Chain A
């Protein structure tokens, strides 16, 4: 069993079946996510917008918690947490004075921040890089299926961390889906922006951004959207208010993979989606 330090982030617990489906996959694939004891909010875009040292301090505490438990990497399930932690890591590595300032503040609270900051990974990376062979073997012939899936990665998973074509049109999850018998549709809305937290104060401005993503996916034959981030899932699930067309269900990638492994929909928290997902038993081939 592989053990990873886990930073769930604040949005995870009320997300639509994210925890349920991640737990179900972990049990099936023998992955252990060890939640960082007493983790705090990473500060997301808010802390870095208001004051950089605050943003660094919040992330620095998480790095120190992981180091205390002997971990060299932290796994996240949210694009905003992922980018915020990576950004803090990059800033502190580039500027030792910033790291020293955070370490000094943390020392007051009895926490030690060592120079070698932990790496940050998304749970998607764990599935793609570490357990894809196990996943392939675990794929079930008799599970539930839900139809053609369109992957929506959102912004902050690839950018600004990967450059070149993968920053705009990543394909790692589509490749994984194909390996385990999930039909992934090709489309070009995978990394367009959903509006993130701007969708609250600027619902009118973000509405067209959400509609554009859903329209592109529908036009390319997608019947279900799958996401890798609580913010993206919520915006696309709650933001399809156009009554002219049937809305597309918006799932987490862990729920779609869970179905392919033959895990029952009720164990994947699918009942928590705002737009219901209808599944059916795969036909015996």
Chain B
């Protein structure tokens, strides 16, 4: 077991090195540099651009720049091109804002998708199955921001739900309870929007996994030996159907960061996605690269944890 984990960590560290090299190469080889963001600015003279390029090491060869990035990242001294703030501190602040959104969206996704998927698989071919299938495809096919706009207009007009930013401006002196309540209401709509696509996709997977398992011989055996239907479904079938979802956990992390770009933009949520978007607009290479790097680290940790959990949960897997 320990050898398995150590070997896995080693493989992932090698992958991480390649990921960082590729990300660095993509960002630096593409045309467009921080010094070119505002070429019309009359106060930017040629020598200023020279100075900026020298300060950001943009004139050095790529591998030297990569070395500087890695060194600064691990000594924690990496500074944003835009405002000279430490990158890790900036990202950490935004990360704390994104975490509640991630957690709530993931909770909604898993709590809604599993019951629907299981029910649809058990009631295969019934109107319930057909309508949830259609609904799932309907929600997957909706352009996210279009659906958000419709929901915002409808919900704000009918229920007066706040939709912009994380808190209502001017409530800083209100009681704790009012502030918590306010935060929760602000969280509702972005979390639901982030979760909708997840629910649609995951409920389809759960359904097909359940269908796959139900036709196995051991289910027939369980029925044949006279177990109650509940025991057959929830003890024998569901446990086996759930196994693949352990591995999905790690691969969902990059999706959460990607998906948040659009929704954080719509709901003015100051999270990691918006930080990334702003960094792209201002060619803030250290922030873009570090965000990518952190996403990769989180994904690799996620897949490692799910690999280990899979091995623990499934006795058929040997090391």
A binds B: no
Chain A residues with CB under 8 Å of chain B are none
